[in-house]
Amino acid sequence: MTISLAVPDILVARAKSGDLEALEALYRAFETPVYNLALRMLRSPEDAEDVLQETFLEVVRSIKQFRAEGHLWGWIRRIASSKALMRIRREQVRATEELHEEATAGRGGSGGVVPARIDLERAFERLSETSRAVVWLHDVEGYTHEEIAEQMGKTVSFSKSQLARAHARLRGMLDDEGAVP
């Protein structure tokens, strides 16, 4: 998803002064992109909504620190991805990701011809949360491996290897279902 969201400076200034209407306008402007980012990273709509809420609580709390010369969507997106990654880390404490990935990969797998886009979406959802996060942040949102590594508290090579591993899995899953030549 390519996002190009321009927000008038006056709206940002009003939001910085604590104007609730301006804050709501920002919420309405960025609600969908934040939700989609979180949903792609976390898969669960409920978790994505929670991240949306946490993100805007943080936006409201910290908007005074936002520098006008920066890109507002970039700033909000960073908060959102950070919240989503935090949630992924929490989940990793509770469950072993590999087990989940293997378990979900074994399910589904219906035959039949379905549009490639749907197959890709389903295959993407079968990746581990870390892999999904890396693929989405790198390939869709345009983050560099250095930025991903910093946000995840990992190394650049971790980010690169996760990306390679995720694409290898995607390729394998899509080949199995005959969706990609």
Partner 1 sequence: MMHCTMDDLLALRAGEASAWARAHAAACATCRAELEALYQRVAQLKALPTRRPARDRWPVVREAVIAGRRRRRERWGVWSIAAAAAVAGLLVFRPFGTREADAAELARVKQESATLEQQLERYDPDARVMSGRTAAVAAALEDRIAVIDGELARVGPPDASPRPAELVKLWQQRVDLMQRLVGVHVTRAAYVGL
Long-range contacts formed by 94-97: CB under 8 A, 24+ apart: 97/128, 97/129, 97/130
Asked whether position 13 contacts partner 1 by CB under 8 A, the answer is no
Token pair in block for residue 43 = 């898969």
Asked whether position 20 contacts partner 1 by CB under 8 A, the answer is yes
Asked whether position 171 contacts partner 1 by CB under 8 A, the answer is yes
Is-contact 88 101, C-beta < 8 A? no
Asked whether position 35 contacts partner 1 by CB under 8 A, the answer is yes
Smallest distance, partner 1 to C-beta of residue 103, A: 23
Asked whether position 143 contacts partner 1 by CB under 8 A, the answer is no
Q: Which residue has the tokens 């934040």?
A: 34
Q: Which of the ranges 5-13, 67-75, 103-111, 114-122 carries the binding residues for partner 1, by CB under 8 A?
A: 114-122
Q: Please state the separation of Cα 114 from the chain's center in Å.
A: 25
- Interacting residue with partner 1 among 2, 4, 65, 110 (CB under 8 A): 2
